């Protein structure tokens, strides 16, 4: 087995930044040493990676991606091959993607279809959540089977997208009750989709068809209301672990904060687009360009929405950064769901409601949240916690993933804080898209080297991994309950 010694770096964990040498043996971390003590200990290795002046962090874990998702008459443009390679370029070494069952479909067969898409194609390790778009007797039974036999321990439901993925309150409650029996986490797309569809149709009939109206009709109160409803239903079902996905509204964060204050098993994630981008500067661009940023939940207004009263007094973004610091938001994921402008986003020219929803970002999460550290919003420790350690614990992968410790998988990122990264189609961009939602952004740091289970996959601006290296992870139950 090959051994690798990572020397001279500062290892970041949730509890500190400590100069440490890391010995990797085969696929796992073998030992940690005080800096410079390996020679005296007689440690030798086949390869050495010089991490002097750099950070050594557990590989990023993105628990919300949609490779090849069928949506809006097309498919998300990254395959498991292109998407996991792009993830590696950004220091992410594990993704958890969503298998999709729609109404009347068979859950177990749909999971099999997702295995077929991913098997043999991934550059990094991967797991699956299961979308249940049609809660019926068979689907409820299948949830038990997936938890017990398939290593799929989390299920996503939608309170949005009527006629597509939508579950009504009764269906949501039944799935929550099932989770209370089998220990699964219910992940919720919390927006009032029934009301949103009325507002969207009214806007289009008034001739308000530009992309910006996507953000205007998906009002923040409708995210707050659905989040509250989901919390109430999860409590009625017995304090079932509920995880609100892609939170963008301060209104919704207030609901999660209140539930957590009461000791409920309620958790939430946000995504870089909600922390950094505003409706005015992206979705609201003139003409059709704003389509690049059509995703749901939407990027929010820089200022308060008319009826929103923020915790921080300066809009949704300030609240979300504060929520991340306070652990009201536990995780940053990307909701990576890329669509090209050509032939895909263009389906919605003349009608924003027909624009496929999604932003590609799997490559840039570690970079963009590190920029939050540079901006003083987060600590280095919290960067690692929200982007790697908590995702592993929330979704039953710890301590195999999410930590640099003896016995853990050697998923390691050497991060250079002294070099910049310029994101953009002609700069750093490896996702299968014809544009970047982050065009022109410059990050004060850079992915230097990435190891996936002991194998170097990125080495100083070169991809040296291969498809098929990534393995499926059978996950256990959440390790993050209150
Ligand atoms: N939101 C998106 O932006 N894309 C896919 C599905 C979702 O909920
Ligand atoms: Zn969603
Ligand atoms: Zn999603």
Per-residue pLDDT of the chain (482 residues; tens, 9 = 90+): 899 999 999 999 999 999 999 999 999 999 999 998 999 999 999 999 999 999 999 999 999 999 999 999 999 999 999 999 999 999 999 999 999 999 999 999 999 999 999 999 999 999 999 999 999 999 999 999 999 999 999 999 999 999 999 999 999 999 999 999 999 999 999 999 999 999 999 999 999 999 999 999 999 999 999 999 999 999 999 999 999 999 999 999 999 999 999 999 999 999 999 999 999 999 999 999 999 999 999 999 987 665 565 665 568 999 999 999 999 999 999 999 999 999 999 999 999 999 999 999 999 999 999 999 999 999 999 999 999 999 999 999 999 999 999 999 999 999 999 999 999 999 999 999 999 999 999 999 999 999 999 999 999 899 999 999 999 999 999 999 97
Whether residue 295 has its Cβ less than 6 Å from ligand 1:
yes
Cα distances (Å, whole numbers) of residue 112 to 70, 143, 453, 467: 16, 14, 25, 19
Centroid of ligand 1 to alpha carbon of 108 (angstroms): 22
344 contacts 77 by C-beta, under 8 angstroms: yes
- Could you give the count of Cα atoms lying within 13 Å of 358 in the half-sphere of its Cβ? 28
Characterize 267-285 residue by residue with b for buried, 16 or more Cβ atoms within 10 angstroms of its Cβ, and e for exposed: bbbbbbbbbbbbbeebbbb
Ligand nearest to the CA of 65: 3
Q: In testing the pocket of ligand 1, which one of 353, 357, 437 has its CB within 8 Å of the most ligand atoms? A: 357
399 contacts 413 by C-beta, under 8 angstroms: no
Closest atom, ligand 1, to C-alpha of 295: 3
Provide the token pair at 293.
């940023």
Whether residue 299 has its Cβ less than 6 Å from ligand 1:
no
Closest atom, ligand 1, to C-alpha of 160: 8
Centroid of ligand 3 to alpha carbon of 96 (angstroms): 11
Ligand nearest to the CA of 357: 1
Whether residue 189 has its Cβ less than 6 Å from ligand 1:
yes
Nearest CA to ligand 1 atom 1: 296
Nearest CA to ligand 1 atom 8: 296
Whether residue 66 has its Cβ less than 6 Å from ligand 1:
yes
Q: What does the pLDDT read at residue 482? A: 79
158 Rama sector, left if φ>0, alpha if ψ -120 to 50, beta otherwise: beta
Whether residue 358 has its Cβ less than 6 Å from ligand 1:
yes
Whether residue 93 has its Cβ less than 6 Å from ligand 1:
no
Nearest CA to ligand 1 atom 7: 296
- Phi first, then psi: give them for residue 148, nearest 5 degrees: -75, -40
CA angle 204, 210, 216 (to 5 degrees): 75
Whether residue 118 has its Cβ less than 6 Å from ligand 1:
no
Instruction: Give the span between the Cα atoms of 62 and 363, in whole angstroms.
Output: 10
Nearest CA to ligand 1 atom 4: 358
Q: What does the pLDDT read at residue 330? A: 98
Whether residue 72 has its Cβ less than 6 Å from ligand 1:
no
Centroid of ligand 3 to alpha carbon of 141 (angstroms): 24
Q: What does the pLDDT read at residue 1? A: 87
Whether residue 296 has its Cβ less than 6 Å from ligand 1:
yes
Whether residue 336 has its Cβ less than 6 Å from ligand 1:
no
Whether residue 193 has its Cβ less than 6 Å from ligand 1:
no
Q: What does the pLDDT read at residue 315? A: 84
Ligand nearest to the CA of 358: 1
Instruction: Give the span between the Cα atoms of 297 and 358, in whole angstroms.
Output: 9
Q: What does the pLDDT read at residue 310? A: 63
Q: In testing the pocket of ligand 1, which one of 102, 161, 245, 337 has its CB within 8 Å of the most ligand atoms? A: 337
Q: What does the pLDDT read at residue 302? A: 84
């Amino acid at each position: 087995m090959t051994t690798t010694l990572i020397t001279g770096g500062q290892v970041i964990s949730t509890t500190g930044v400590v100069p440490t040498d890391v010995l990797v043996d085969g696929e796992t971390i073998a030992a940690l040493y005080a800096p410079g003590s390996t020679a005296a200990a007689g440690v030798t290795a086949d390869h050495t990676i010089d991490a002097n002046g750099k950070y050594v962090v557990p590989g990023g874990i993105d628990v919300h991606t949609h490779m090849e998702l069928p949506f809006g008459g097309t498919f998300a443009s990254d395959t498991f091959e292109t998407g996991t390679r792009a993830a590696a370029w950004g220091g992410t070494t594990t993704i958890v993607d969503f298998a999709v069952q729609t109404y009347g479909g068979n859950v177990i067969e749909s999971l099999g279809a997702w295995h077929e898409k991913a098997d043999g194609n991934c550059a990094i390790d991967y797991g699956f959540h299961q979308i249940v778009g049609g809660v019926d007797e068979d689907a409820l039974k299948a949830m038990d089977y997936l938890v017990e036999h398939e290593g799929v321990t989390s299920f996503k439901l939608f309170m949005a997208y009527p006629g597509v993925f939508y579950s009504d309150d009764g269906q949501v409650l039944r799935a929550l009750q099932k989770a209370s029996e089998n220990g699964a986490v219910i992940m919720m797309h919390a927006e009032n989709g029934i009301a949103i569809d009325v507002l969207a149709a009214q806007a289009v009939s008034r001739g308000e068809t530009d992309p910006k109206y996507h953000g205007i009709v998906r009002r923040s109160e409708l995210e707050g209301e659905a989040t509250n409803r989901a919390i109430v239903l999860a409590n009625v079902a017995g304090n079932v672990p509920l995880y609100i996905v892609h939170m963008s509204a301060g209104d919704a964060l207030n609901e999660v904060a209140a539930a957590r204050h009461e000791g409920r098993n309620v958790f939430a994630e946000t995504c870089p687009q909600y922390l950094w981008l505003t409706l005015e500067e992206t979705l609201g661009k003139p003409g059709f360009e704003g389509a690049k940023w059509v995703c749901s939940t939407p990027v929010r207004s820089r200022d308060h929405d008319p009826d929103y009263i923020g915790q921080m007094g300066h809009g949704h973004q300030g609240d979300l950064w504060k929520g991340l610091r306070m652990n009201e938001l536990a995780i940053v994921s990307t909701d990576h769901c890329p669509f090209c402008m050509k032939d895909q986003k263009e389906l919605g020219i003349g009608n924003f409601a027909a624009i496929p929803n999604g932003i590609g970002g799997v490559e840039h999460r570690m970079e963009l949240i590190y920029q939050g550290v540079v901006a003083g919003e987060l600590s280095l420790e919290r960067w690692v916690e929200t982007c790697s350690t908590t995702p592993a614990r929330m979704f039953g992968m710890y301590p195999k993933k999410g930590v640099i410790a003896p016995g853990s998988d050697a998923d390691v990122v050497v991060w250079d804080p002294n070099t910049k990264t310029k994101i953009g189609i002609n700069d750093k961009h490896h996702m299968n898209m014809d544009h970047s939602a982050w065009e022109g952004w410059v990050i004060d740091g850079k992915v230097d080297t990435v190891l996936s289970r002991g194998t170097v996959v990125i080495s100083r601006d070169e991809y040296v991994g291969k498809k098929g290296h990534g393995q499926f992870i059978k996950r256990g139950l959440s390790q993050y309950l209150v």
